[in-house]
Amino acid sequence: MKIILLILFVMMIAVITLPMISCNKSDSQAAGNSSIEIPTKVTNDGTDILFPPGSPQLQWIETDSVKFQTLHLNITAPAHIAASVVPSEFGSSNLYLFESQDVTQLYADFVKSASAADRTSRQLERMKDLHAHMAVAEKDVVDAQHENAEAQADLAEKESRLRAAGIDPKALHETPAGSVWVLADIPENKLSSVHAHASAQLICNSFPNETFQGFVVALGDVVDPSTRTVKARIVLPNTTRVLKPGMFGNIIINETTQRALAVPRNAVVTVQGKSYIFKQVGAESFRRMAIQIGSETQDFYLVSTGLHPGDKIATGGIVLLKGLSFGY
């Protein structure tokens, strides 16, 4: 009898606890289902990034508003000494020493071409005068014109090659003895910030603890197609002749303080030569935007296109956004 009562008691306990176990299991499954994270949505080939509401990744991202900044700008560019002007020891004219034998030969060829062009020009005028007085035939004038045209074309070709190398022969002749020409490679997107007569300092690799003061005199006439740079010419005094053609260093060009639209450097990512920022377009969404940057300071990039005052951009968590946008 006691055994039968014990069995009945165990069965009653089972009947009571089974629904409770089933209920707890259902609650556990529901809790598990609610913990499944909604993935971040990246669309338009990485351009648009949408985080799910409450995503912990949003805590990593900091934002700030784009605004005008008053900045003092310096441009630093690689440079080299291209030419030196020294007085001749055997005549009244100056000597021009260049950084390479190729440029030296090109300049010598230019001088010869200039002399030939001047000679043929005077010969042409003489032939015209003689023809006017019936002293020579018209054919002699035509021959003189042809010879002068060839000489002028040869001179133009030599001058073009010199100017492409950063050497303006006329300006070189006007440079006083005891000076050097420094050529700095300025990126084309910074050309608008470089002006003639701006002060500049050369820090030469040969004299790392010295600074040589000079000023910008001109910008080159062509853009290098491979580096997308333009040569800026800086003239420095070199009365002690410590600076030699062929020396390398860096030029720091001083710009005036200006007020411009700027973004922090850490907000910009560069991929395959293009610059991007991540603009906030919603509470949980960002859009990758290409921008055109100009001059820069230690902390900021000046933005010429792509943004407007008041736009909110990501300034923290950039590595996360870059990885989502570009897939790495």
Residue 312 identity: K
Assess whether pLDDT exceeds 70 at residue 289. Answer: yes
State the residue range of the domain holding 131. Answer: 97-171
What percent of the chain is predicted at pLDDT more than 70?
A: 88
Q: d(Cα 6, Cα 10) in Å, to the nearest integer?
A: 6
Burial class (CB in 10 A: 0-12, 13-18, 19+), 208: exposed
Q: Model-level pTM greater than 0.85?
A: no
Cα separations in angstroms, 325 against 76, 269, 290, 306: 31, 11, 13, 18
Q: Could you tell me if 45 and 287 are in contact, meaning their C-beta atoms sit under 8 angstroms apart?
A: no
Residue 73 located in a structural domain: no
Based on the domain organization, do 104 and 156 belong to the same domain?
Answer: yes
> Using one digit for the tens of pLDDT, what is the confidence trace for 70-113?
877 788 899 999 999 998 888 778 999 999 999 999 999 999 99
| 10: its two tokens | 């165990």
Based on the domain organization, do 246 and 183 belong to the same domain?
Answer: yes
Q: Could you tell me if 89 and 95 are in contact, meaning their C-beta atoms sit under 8 angstroms apart?
A: no
> Using one digit for the tens of pLDDT, what is the confidence trace for 132-155?
998 889 999 999 999 999 999 999
The domain that holds 157 is classified in CATH as 1.10.287
Per-residue pLDDT at 25: 45
Residue 81 located in a structural domain: no
Based on the domain organization, do 45 and 12 belong to the same domain?
Answer: no
Residue 214 located in a structural domain: yes
| 52: its two tokens | 């799910």
The domain that holds 47 is classified in CATH as 2.40.420.20
> Using one digit for the tens of pLDDT, what is the confidence trace for 169-225?
999 999 999 999 999 999 887 787 788 888 999 999 999 899 999 999 998 888 888
Which residues make Cβ contacts (< 8 Å) with residue 55, sequence separation at least 6?
37, 38, 40, 284
